[in-house]
């Protein structure tokens, strides 16, 4: 056989082998690239735009007006719809702290709750003089126990017992009017611009709502009330002073508007307490107009609607059941979106009233509970004397009645000791 021919055949075989190897390599690389551009699941294969090719094609198609083929989307779980929080019950009785601290009263309340007569109890955590009815953990004053009532532990136990029985407990805090806290920490009080603790026409002291320590103190009380078992906080007298020369106050931070100062404080209390925080006052005008004296002295009310709407609920004094609708409507003229609950003075009227309402029974707790239990009739309903509507202002209640008691030229008479 010819050696040249054998050599040619060997060369051809080598070339063919090389071609086959190259072809196999190309096929292998192609398969790898294809699999890198695909993902697999139970629904089959999906193209992965790893190198942005599809995105570039989509951009080119958008420029030319051509539609980009839709790529199959992987199914996604739909987030569960959030259910609105249930509105707290408001068949409430506003009772004195001393009464609620009594074991007999708690048992009566539990029985009335079991019967469906009431489902909410409002109790004073801090009273109008500044006394604390529970233990409060605060750094604002050195010894808060000095102004803490001796029945604090009993009240805290009563609150826990009511809460365990699913009774909604609201802790009522009288805010800015305070005789006792300023005795422990005078820096909390409103001060005269010439020195000394500022006094209103009733010769009483007020906490400075613009003072950071005042807001911190109210937050501490609210947090302690929640830790004691309160489900909601009710701020009373959350206003600037209603009487007195506000223009003579040296505020810690001079307010531009009353509502702005109070709104900032309200939102901080809501944030720290982490429960609903509501508002109330003795009169509706104290809620809607805040302080007329402050307005006259250059501190306008401001955006009261925002303040009232930011509060979780507004409890308004109505006096009688007949006045309730008018009282609610009167407040909602200022804040149409506010949630408004009337406060009634008569036990039997409260029981007959259809709808959410609060019974004011701070001064007659035992009698009110007896009526609720069906033991006897409410004597206040049988009175022939006309009752003043709580939502109306007393026309005789004016600053002029107090002018003679105030010596505007002698601030030393009002240095906080009188």
Cβ(122)–Cβ(388) below 8 Å: no
What local confidence, expressed as pLDDT, does residue 160 receive? 95
Q: b/e map of 175-208 (b: 16 or more CB within 10 Å)?
A: bbbbebbbbbbeebbbbbeeebbbbbbeebbbbb
For the chain, percent of residues with pLDDT exceeding 90: 54
Better-scored residue on pLDDT, 28 or 400? 28
The per-residue pLDDT for 406 is 43
**What DSSP assignment string belongs to 70-100?**
PPPPPP-PPPPPPPPPPPPP-EEEEE-HHHH
- For residue 28, the Cα-to-chain-centroid distance in whole angstroms is 66
pLDDT at residue 212 in the model: 96
Identify the pLDDT of residue 89. Answer: 54
Distance (Å, whole) CA 403 – CA 244:
9
Partners of 234 in beta bridges: 172, 278
- Per-residue model confidence (pLDDT) at position 352: 85
Sign, CA dihedral 260-332-275-82, equals negative
pLDDT tens column, 245-274: 999 999 999 999 999 999 999 999 999 999
Find all residues with CB under 8 Å of 128, minimum gap 6, and list them: 174, 177, 236, 237
pLDDT tops 80 at residue 211: yes
Phi–psi pair at 162, nearest 5 degrees = -65, -45
Least confident of 3-17, 221-235, 334-348: 3-17
Q: What is the pTM of this model?
A: 0.72
The structure tokens listed for 332 are 């909602």
Look at residue 265 and give its three-state secondary structure: helix
List, as one string, the DSSP characters of 341-355.
Answer: EEEES-HHHHHH--S
| 277 contacts: CB under 8 Å, gap ≥ 6 | 222, 232, 233, 234, 235, 266, 269, 270, 311, 312
CB contact set of 307 (below 8 Å; sequence gap of 6+): 259, 262, 263, 266
pLDDT score for 11: 67
Provide CB contacts within 8 A for 388, sequence distance 6+. 319, 394
**pLDDT of 113 above 60:** yes
d(CA 72, CA 393): 69
Closest by Cα among 176, 175, 158 to 167: 158
Q: What pLDDT, on a 0 to 100 scale, did the predictor assign at position 46?
A: 55
Query: What span, in angstroms and rounded, lies between the C-alpha atoms of 239 and 289?
Result: 10
Which residues on neighbouring strands pair with residue 341, listed in sequence order? 315
Locate 252 and state its tokens: 């810690």
Indicate if the pLDDT at residue 119 is higher than 50: yes
Mean local confidence (pLDDT), 107-114: 93
User: Is the Cβ–Cβ distance between 269 and 227 less than 8 Å?
Assistant: no
User: Is residue 63 pLDDT above 60, yes or no?
Assistant: no
What is the model's pLDDT at position 32?
58
Return the SS3 of 39.
Answer: strand
Assign residue 416 a region (left: φ > 0; alpha: ψ between -120 and 50; beta: otherwise): left
Q: What pLDDT does 364 receive?
A: 86
Does residue 208 carry a pLDDT above 90?
yes
With a cut of 80, say whether residue 140 has pLDDT above it: yes
Distance of CA 375 to the CA centre of its chain: 38
pLDDT score of 375: 72
Q: How confident is the model at residue 394 (pLDDT cuts 50, 70, 90)?
A: very low
Secondary structure element (H or E) that encloses residue 319, with its range? strand 314-319
pLDDT at residue 319 is higher than 70: yes
Average pLDDT, the chain: 80
Tokens of 80: 């569960």
Q: Look at phi and psi of residue 89 and say left if phi exceeds 0, alpha if psi is from -120 to 50, else beta.
A: beta
Contacts of 337 (CB under 8 A, 6+ apart): 309
Task: For 76-100, give one letter per residue: b (16+ CB within 10 A) or e.
Answer: eeeeeeeeeeeebebbbbbbbbbbb
Q: Are 246 and 299 in contact (CB under 8 A)?
A: yes
The DSSP secondary structure of 188-212, one letter per residue, reads: GB-BBTTSSB---TTS--BB-TT-H
CA dist 146 and 131 (Å) reads 9
User: Of 244, 253, 262, 126, which Cα lies nearest the Cα of 181?
Assistant: 126
């Amino acid at each position: 056989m010819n050696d040249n021919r054998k050599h040619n055949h060997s060369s051809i075989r080598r070339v063919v082998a090389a071609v086959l190897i190259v072809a196999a390599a190309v096929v292998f690389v192609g398969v790898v690239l294809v699999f890198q551009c695909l993902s697999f699941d139970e629904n089959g294969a999906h193209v992965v735009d790893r190198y942005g090719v599809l995105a570039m094609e989509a951009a080119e198609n958008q420029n030319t007006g051509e539609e980009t083929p839709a790529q199959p989307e992987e199914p996604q779980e739909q987030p569960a719809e959030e259910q609105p929080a249930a509105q707290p019950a408001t068949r409430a009785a506003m009772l004195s702290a001393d009464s609620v601290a009594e074991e007999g009263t708690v048992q009566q309340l539990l029985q009335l709750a079991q019967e469906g007569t009431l489902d909410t109890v409002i109790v004073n955590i801090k009273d109008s003089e500044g006394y604390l009815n529970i233990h409060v953990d605060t750094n604002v004053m050195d010894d808060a126990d000095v102004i803490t009532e001796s029945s604090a532990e009993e009240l805290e136990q009563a609150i826990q017992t009511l809460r365990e029985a699913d009774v909604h407990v609201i802790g009522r805090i009288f805010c800015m009017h305070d005789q006792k806290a300023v005795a422990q920490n005078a820096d909390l009080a409103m001060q005269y611009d010439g020195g000394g603790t500022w006094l209103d026409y009733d010769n009483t002291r007020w906490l400075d709502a613009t003072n950071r320590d005042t807001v911190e103190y109210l937050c501490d009380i609210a947090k302690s009330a929640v830790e004691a078992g309160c489900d909601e906080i009710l701020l009373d007298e959350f206003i600037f002073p209603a009487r007195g020369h506000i223009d003579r106050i040296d505020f810690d931070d001079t307010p531009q508007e009353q509502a702005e100062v109070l709104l900032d404080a309200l939102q901080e209390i809501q944030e720290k307490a982490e429960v609903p925080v509501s508002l109330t006052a003795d009169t509706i005008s104290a809620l809607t107009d805040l302080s007329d004296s402050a307005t006259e002295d250059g501190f306008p009310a401001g955006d009261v609607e925002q303040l009232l709407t930011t509060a979780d609920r507004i409890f308004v004094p109505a006096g009688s059941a007949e006045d309730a609708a008018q009282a609610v409507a009167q407040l909602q003229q200022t804040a149409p979106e506010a949630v408004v609950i009337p406060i009634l003075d008569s036990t039997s009227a409260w029981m007959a009233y259809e709808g959410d309402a609060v019974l004011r029974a701070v001064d007659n707790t035992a009698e009110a509970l007896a009526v609720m239990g069906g033991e006897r009739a409410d004597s206040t309903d049988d009175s022939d004397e006309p009752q003043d509507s709580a939502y109306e202002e007393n026309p005789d209640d004016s600053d002029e009645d107090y002018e003679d008691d105030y010596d505007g030229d002698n601030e030393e008479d009002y240095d906080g000791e009188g």
